[in-house]
Structure 1
Amino acid sequence: MAVLTPQKATRDDVQAARLSTIRREDIEDLLQLPGRPRISIYMPTFRAGVETQQNPIRLKNLLRSVQEKLEESGMESTDAAELMTPVRELVDDQAFWQTASDSLAIFRSPEVFRTYRLPAALDEFVLVNERFHLKPLFTLLAEDQPFYVLAISLKNIRLIEATRHHAEELEIPGVPHSLTEALGDLTRRYSQFQVGTSSKTVARSPIFHGHGTGEDNLKAEIVQFFNLADKALLRYMDRDVPVVLAGVEYLLPRYKETTEHPKVLDEGLTGNAEGLSPEELRDMAWEIVEPVLTADRRRAAERYGDLQGTGRASSRYEEILPAAHDGRIDTLFVARGVRLWGSYDPK
């Protein structure tokens, strides 16, 4: 079990993390949005220090390259400058540069203007084309697999949907958020026991004051509360996504015994999760869930090696492209930093 150790997180830190997020839905959206030409800009950015002053200068230089490429494609100079005006305005936007991540991606067309702060250092790159250049984002998504953190207590149930670089607390309809809400006013019986915690907020086993049916009833009510919460949560949770439980130690095995979610991990975060931000819970849970998420990737690589020479695995794009067109690819490995330009005609 990992121990919950709260860290200070400011509102600005939380906002910065959200701004750094790109989701699968964003990529699907960018693939379908109209408008030509489509401009893709990638640039590494400095997070802090005097080096951050180079960020707007780097963008300004890249915009010169975009202007040249647009003119080379046949666009009038004034039209190209007008198209890139929203991007150019970012150069002098001090508020925009106050929050930085490891890279910045900008997508622009006559109908689209999107900026994303990315949590990985990407090479500087500019492309003017009929499609947005999204390949650098595929690797980020492949490595940004989802997991849940379910923070449980008798007073609150919180579900955090997370990836390595994203965390969002979800509001799930129908979830009883407390024992009292689920089963009525049990304040009197709940106050009959106290849970002691150490100075490090690690929960000890509960100490019940009273004997017999009162204690047994309370235990049964806790199980019933967890059962009600679990049924409501499962209507919205993906059963293929791993779950890390967070809460005082005596509650975690009770919930694990109750839940019907098949991927609740044996190891959890023990301690008082109240007051911890989604980002803090994500970071603490990552040490537990990371080996689970990367295990699938390792198994896929091993399977690729095992299938070599059987006709069911290939590294030749002449075979991969038709298979992709026909929907016959189970797993695709994409090399970092490698570009192979062209288009595919199935005829």
Structure 2
Amino acid sequence: MTHEDLKRIQSYRGYPALSLRVRTHRRMPEAQQDPTRLKNLIRHAEKVMLEREISSAVVHDYISRLDLFHRQLDWRYLDEGLCVFVAAGRLAWVMLPEPVEETVVVGETFLTRDLVRVASRTPRYHLLVLSEQTTRWFQGWGRRLSEETGHGFPMENHEDSHDPPEGFNKGVDPKSYANERSKVFMRRVAETARAHINNEQAPLFVAGVDRLQALYRETAGEDAISGSLSGNFDEHSPHELAEALSPEVERWQQARRRTVLERFQEVKGTRNGVAGLREVGEAAAMARVDTLLVESPFSVSGSYDRETGRVVTVANGGESDMAPDDVVDEIVETVMERGGNVVFYQDGRLAGASIGAILRY
């Protein structure tokens, strides 16, 4: 799942928007029951929609598409959770690397809290695999990597000969010539990568032999690289690359959490930082939130107006089959819709605040 995928799902507005969450499994024998779980949830979704007095034609359309999705899904390659989103003329689905609570929700928007939480816990990143011949570009999400084709990648080095051309100055060391050719290629790679990333905040990791990494850094700069793998990875598969890179990504993620928390502690109580549900809700509605900090189990039933920031809490409320009633979920989605970042923490890390924000202004 890319950030663009998440934004498309979050941006939908229209009734009825149907969200299904089902627990799935990676391995047998638990995975044997996954098709039955989803089938039962589809039947429950049909019942919920009819109870909401949604027209039978709409219900039939939604359930028919869900049944087709059920038949076509490759059950061999699932993860720990599956989210399915259905609306007029569309069906989207996302696999999640952690379990979800089985739920059917009908509302004016899709229920995306699990996606947002996983997107925060499971970092999205870029991986550039440097090579003298073909440099490859990958999009990463946790332990999943997929190679991108486009935006100049994969990039071929069409002048990768280590030997000087005929007529080249005989006094020049061929190794110097080869190094210059590599430098030109790495400069082209760095410039293309910079244009591709543009203003994205996803980190960039680089894999390749030390010599190529040094040449790449000369153009890209140290600040452009969040971590690296040393070695020749020309023949590595996406799965092998993801496994090798995992410790580097984890180190980056832990460092980012520490940095964000330290910054929040510095600005909390000033005009650049707020804590508390209502204060954060107001700032989110005004698009003032640069980074939202949330303790992972924090949840509040009620309603949230994304335009005014007004928060109304409901004592002892619970998740219903109607529109999502988790105020925290609504604030998280609002922040992400308006270009902010979200970072989740373990319970107690925010020193009693449960939710806080670093503000843009």
**TM-score interval for Structure 1 and Structure 2 normalised by the shorter chain:** 0.7 to 0.9
> Which has more strand, going by share of residues?
2
TM-superposed CA distance for 1:42, in Å, is: 0.7
Q: Counterpart of 2:186?
A: 226
| Correspondent of 2:208 among 213, 233, 247 | 247
**2: distance between equivalents of 1:213 and 1:229?**
25
Q: Which runs of 5+ in 2 are unaligned?
A: 311-361
Residue 41 of structure 1: how far off its partner (Å): 0.8
State the match for 2:52 in structure 1: 73
Aligned residue for 1:38? Answer: 17
Secondary structure (helix, strand or coil) at the match of 2:291 reads: coil
Aligned match of 1:281: 241
Residue pairs, 1:1-347, within 5 angstroms = 22-33=1-12, 35-76=14-55, 80-91=59-70, 93=71, 95-170=73-148, 171-173=150-152, 177-178=156-157, 181-182=158-159, 186=161, 188=163, 213-238=173-198, 241-260=202-221, 262-265=223-226, 268-310=228-270, 312-336=272-296, 338-344=299-305, 346=308
- Checking the alignment, whether the CA contact within 8 Å between 2:128 and 2:205 is kept in structure 1 is yes
CA contact (8 A) 1:34 1:111 kept: no
Q: 1:156/1:211 Cα in 2 relative to 1: closer, same or farther (>3 Å)? A: farther
Summarize deviations over 1:12-51 as a string: whole Å, max 9, x none.
xxxxxxxxxx222222222333542111111110112122
SS in 2 for 1:172: coil
Is the Cα contact below 8 Å between 2:207 and 2:230 reproduced in 1? Answer: yes
How far off is 1:127 after superposition? 0.8
Evaluate the alpha carbon distance shift between residue 259 and residue 335 of structure 1 in structure 2; reply closer, same or farther with a 3 A threshold: closer
Q: Which one has a bigger Cα radius of gyration? A: 1
For residue 49 of structure 1, give the secondary structure of its aligned residue in structure 2: coil
User: Alignment partner of 1:262: what SS?
Assistant: helix
Q: Distance in 1 between matches of 2:188 and 2:271?
A: 49
- SS of structure 1 residue aligned to 2:85: strand
Contact 1:38 1:131 (C-alpha < 8 Å) held by counterparts: yes
Look up the equivalent residue of 2:246 and give its one-letter code: W
Tell whether the 8 Å contact from 1:149 to 1:281 is kept in structure 2 after alignment: no
Structure 1, unpaired ranges of 5+:
1-21, 191-209
CA shift, 1:154, in A, is 1.9
CA distance in 1 between counterparts of 2:7 and 2:258 reads 26
| Bigger mean CA deviation after superposition, 237-246 or 326-335 | 237-246
Q: In 1, Cα distance between the equivalents of 2:8 and 2:249?
A: 29
Q: Please state whether the residue corresponding to 2:292 is helix, strand or coil.
A: coil
- RMSD of aligned alpha carbons: 3.1
Partners in 2 of 1:174 and 1:161 — Cα distance? 12
Contact 1:308 1:314 in 2 (8 A): yes
Q: Secondary structure at the match of 2:77?
A: coil
**Residues 21 and 102 of structure 2 are in contact (CA less than 8 Å); yes or no, is this contact kept in structure 1?**
yes
Amino acid at match of 1:327: A
Quick one: structure 1 residues 241 and 227, their matched pair in 2 at CA, closer, same or farther if it must change by over 3 Å? same
Structure-2 separation of matches of 1:39 and 1:161 = 29
When normalised by structure 1's length, the TM-score is: 0.75
Whichever residue aligns with residue 93 of structure 2, its letter is T
Alignment partners' CA distance in 1, 2:228 and 2:58: 57
SS where residue 119 of structure 2 aligns?
Answer: helix
- With structure 2 as the length reference, what TM-score do the two structures score? 0.72
> Any idea what SS the aligned residue of 1:342 has?
strand
- Contact conserved, 2:268 with 2:275, CA < 8 A, in 1? no
Measure, in 1, the Cα distance between the counterparts of 2:153 and 2:57: 56
**Conservation of the 8 A alpha-carbon contact between 2:136 and 2:155:** no
